[in-house]
Amino acid sequence: MTDPVVRLHEVHKSFGALKVLDGVSFDVHRGEVAALIGRSGSGKSTALRCIDRLERIDSGMITVCGHDVADPALKLRALRLDVGIVFQSYNLFPHLTVMQNIMLAPRSVKGLGRAEAVDLARGVLAKVGLADKADAYPEQLSGGQQQRAAIARSLAMQPKVMLFDEVTSALDPELTGEVLRVIEDLAAGGMTMIMVTHEMGFARHIASQVLFMHRGRVWEAGPPAIMSDPATPELRQFVGSELRR
């Protein structure tokens, strides 16, 4: 098997006296979808933010697309050309149209000409089902449409890895479905993805591997079948509580 696209090895991270990551290790290979599940405070989002160097780790190793993320000399721009991240909040610029939001980074970071950036933006908007919203402003879109626009903005940078941090948690069920369909299409197209999610059914359906985090550690990991047949009482209790929601 080829080297993993993303590797975490014995990653530790504290905020003051609070230990958030306590020796986290996992690999994600090209084309895989890794789903991070677990209760709030288990370290899922912090792990994701460390992968993109939005947070610095205290010790351990993270490599992403050949970048040593813990290296003080890391070129952040080079890392973020390879890694796209989408958050729960859409972070679209309200004074720019959807098309302008998407064109901004390819033009300013990659130096694309206007015509090339327009073509790229139209392509990613079509991919997320928003071709007809190119000239709309964010406030004119539903929450689901704004989240899909945020995904399109990340895709416009043509990343090798996509990170999703609870991207549906602020959406109602119908809008959640439309965003998850976009992520499903990306998975079908071979995009390497790591997603923090509370959508258990979706994780079971789409993930190559499920990583259950508990107390800052990867407590249990394996194929989605581990959610149906947990090896630990902690995962069994978590899955049971999610099913009752």
- Domain residues for the domain of 52 are 6-91+161-243
* Confidence category of residue 245, pLDDT binned at 50, 70, 90: low
pTM of the model: 0.93
Q: Which of 91, 65, 61, 203 is nearest to 153 (CA)?
A: 91
Residue 27 lies in a domain: yes
SS3 212: strand
- DSSP for 23-55 reads EEEEEE-TT-EEEEE--TTSSHHHHHHHHTTSS
* Confidence category of residue 244, pLDDT binned at 50, 70, 90: low
Number of domains in the chain: 1
SS3 71: coil
Residue 59 lies in a domain: yes
Residue 227 lies in a domain: yes
Residue 17 lies in a domain: yes
Residue 138 lies in a domain: no
Residue 169: the pLDDT is: 86
Residue 144 lies in a domain: no
Question: pLDDT tens, 148-164?
Answer: 999 999 999 999 999 99
Question: pLDDT tens, 42-57?
Answer: 999 999 999 999 999 9
CATH number of the structural domain spanning residue 48: 3.40.50.300
Residues 243, 151: Cα–Cα separation, whole Å? 28
Question: pLDDT tens, 77-124?
Answer: 899 899 999 988 888 999 999 999 999 999 988 889 999 999 999 999
Residue 24 lies in a domain: yes
